[in-house]
Amino acid sequence: MTAQIINGKAISDMIREEVKAETDKLRQQGVVPGLAVVLVGEDPASKVYVGSKEKACIQLGFYSEVHRLSADTSEEELLALIHKLNEQSTINGILVQLPLPKHINEKAVIDAISVDKDVDGFHPESVGNLVIGDDSLLPCTPAGVIELIKRAGTDIAGKHAVVIGRSNIVGKPVAMLLLRENATVTICHSRTANLKEIASQADILVAAIGRAKAIDSSYVKPGAVVIDVGINRLPDGKLAGDVDYEDCLEVSGAITPVPGGVGPMTITMLMSNTLKAAKKAHGIG
């Protein structure tokens, strides 16, 4: 048996077409979704991601602003910018690229973003809405994971989903979304005893550990859907996920590659969130 390869790039392109079609319709009503991306400092990976987000905005016909601030920007200056963007009617979504330089309190910055413009879904009120099942902007990577599982043709309800990782930006929200889709969810982490034993019971296995190729075929139940959220830069410059893709290809039922899996979905869901926020701001369905 060889796994179905879940093509995140192709699925992401399809969703972008849908977002573009809706954006074109909105423009006829005089509404243009607007996204502000804020980058503090010179992290090379962050610069690449911010470039991709800007490109996506142009491709979809969004209004976009990129604020590139120097690494020594103070927390007060950054908060002042966020307050300005909160008030700016041309902006529907605000994304502050993480991680921030150490002298800035990330929590204070996230808390300052207006919930209506929280297209990252990181604000405590957005997180609370996610947990209780109220309508909210969903965090992009977790929403992308669910979309990939569904569009790969997998029914989530009743399945045992095992999430490896408990971060606020991926592990916890992915687990909550899977629960909302009626999976039976187990969250594992660095202190989990018997990780392999638990992982190999999963019908759906989501790896968000942050360690290259940590999950090999011995962690995977035959036929399982394997979603790899990891993006690790190897010494040779290549990208690798948290899953040993080659090793798991045969045993999995379906699997996402890195690159070309979850990564492209993250930016697409950001665009989708910005569109949703724009519609809400203008009282459109």
Ligand X SMILES: Nc1nc(=O)c2c([nH]1)NC[C@@H]1CN(c3ccc(C(=O)N[C@@H](CCC(=O)O)C(=O)O)cc3)C=[N+]21
Residues 177-216 binding ligand X (CB under 6 A) are none
SS3 65: strand
| Rounded CA separation 116/34 (Å) | 13
Known catalytic membership, residue 28:
no
Cα 226 to chain centroid distance, Å, stands at 16
Task: For residue 23, give every residue at least 6 positions away whose Cβ sits within 8 Å of its Cβ, in sequence order, or none.
Answer: 32, 33, 60, 61, 62, 275
Exposure of 112 in the CB half-sphere (CA atoms within 13 A)? 21
Between 26 and 254, CB nearer to ligand X:
254
Distances (CA, A) of 103 to 72, 96, 100, 106, 143: 9, 15, 8, 9, 30
Residue of 24, 29, 43, 53 marked catalytic? 53
Q: Is 121 in the site for ligand X (CB under 6 A)?
A: no
Q: Is 120 in the site for ligand X (CB under 6 A)?
A: yes
To which residue do tokens 């965090």 refer? 139
CB of 14 to ligand X, least distance (A): 15
Residues 42-101 binding ligand X (CB under 6 A) are 48-49, 52, 95-98
The amino acid at 199: A
Residues 252-281 binding ligand X (CB under 6 A) are 258-260, 263-264, 266-267
Site string for ligand X, 135-154 (x = CB under 6 A): -----x--------------
Q: Return the beta strands (E) in 122-203 as ranges.
A: 160-164, 184-188
Residue of 117, 118, 120, 159 marked catalytic? 120
Interface with ligand X (CB under 6 A), residue total: 18
Known catalytic membership, residue 88:
no
DSSP 98: S
Between 34 and 264, CB nearer to ligand X:
264
Known catalytic membership, residue 97:
yes
List of residues contacting ligand X (CB under 6 A): 48-49, 52, 95-98, 120, 140, 231, 239, 258-260, 263-264, 266-267
Q: Give the catalytic positions in this structure.
A: 53, 97, 120
